[in-house]
Structure 1
Amino acid sequence: MELISTPHATPPAGHYAQAVRANGFVFVSGQLGFLPPAEAGARPQLALGASAQTEQAMRSVQAILEAAGASLSTVASVTVYIPNIGLWDEVNKVYERCFGEHRPARAIVPTGDLHYGALVEISVVAIAA
């Protein structure tokens, strides 16, 4: 098992890795829609709105996958957490654009409040290259 880390995604805020590569798969921890910090060591802020947070979360997912030698096109499964099912259409538009023709398995989970007041959290499982 190999821990994956990249400075191009939000650093973990707890006792977990950005991702783990194991047995031919990459397991990416849930990513929130944080903007990149303005300076090293600064706490990132959430992007404004569900679309912008989805975009930022997907950028983090993509950066982590690339650090692990994978890509969005090798994603096999996605779990999307949202606090309110009413956000789904907005989140789905960005999701569709990011994945294009690729259609991994997916679950959408309405959760109630997410950490830091986030409007979306995305975790994926990909095939390692």
Structure 2
Amino acid sequence: MTLSIDSVDPAELPESSPAYAHAALVRGAERTLFISGQPPWTIEGDVPADFDGQCRLAWENVRAVLAAADMTVENLAKVTVYLSDRRHREANSRIRHEVLGDHRPAITIIITGIYDESWLLEIEAVAVG
């Protein structure tokens, strides 16, 4: 069976945005990768000062984990983004859409305190392959 990750958007619910689906239905997966929360830091521990830089770096870190498992963002079935402040919602959505393109995994965004005060977000995910 070929791997497919299909969007599920029930007619009984409000329409989801083009950037996410209400659910992701996975068929034909042989592997499941649980990606720990990826903070916006470099291998040296440096953290960009601005949200856009942090968001792009956290996504680069997610991509690095995916690549280590021979996967790409197309394998993402579920993404959870933890934001330190709701004022980052629009930038987060814009950059996530740049990273994911037309791929629409299930998405949850949580506004919360983050482990390190210098981090403005953290991204965790589940990928299948």
**Pairwise same-fold verdict (TM > 0.5):** yes
Q: CA deviation at 1:107?
A: 0.2
2:88 matched residue in structure 1: 87
Correspondent of 2:31 among 24, 28, 51:
24
| Structure 1 residue ranges (4+ consecutive) displaced by more than 2 angstroms after TM superposition | none
- Identity across the alignment (%): 29
Structure 2 residue ranges without an equivalent (≥5): 1-29
Distance 1:117 1:59 in 2: 18
Q: After TM superposition, list the pairs within 5 Å mapping 1:49-88 onto structure 2.
A: 49-88=50-89
Correspondent of 2:40 among 6, 21, 33:
33
Structure 1 residue ranges without an equivalent (≥5): 1-22, 38-43
TM-score by length of structure 2 reads 0.72
Larger Rg: 2
Task: Report the secondary structure of 2:109's partner residue.
Answer: strand
Count of paired positions = 100
| Structure with the larger RCO, 1 or 2 (CA within 8 Å, 6+ apart) | 2
RMSD of Structure 2 on Structure 1 (CA): 1.3
TM-score by length of structure 1 reads 0.72
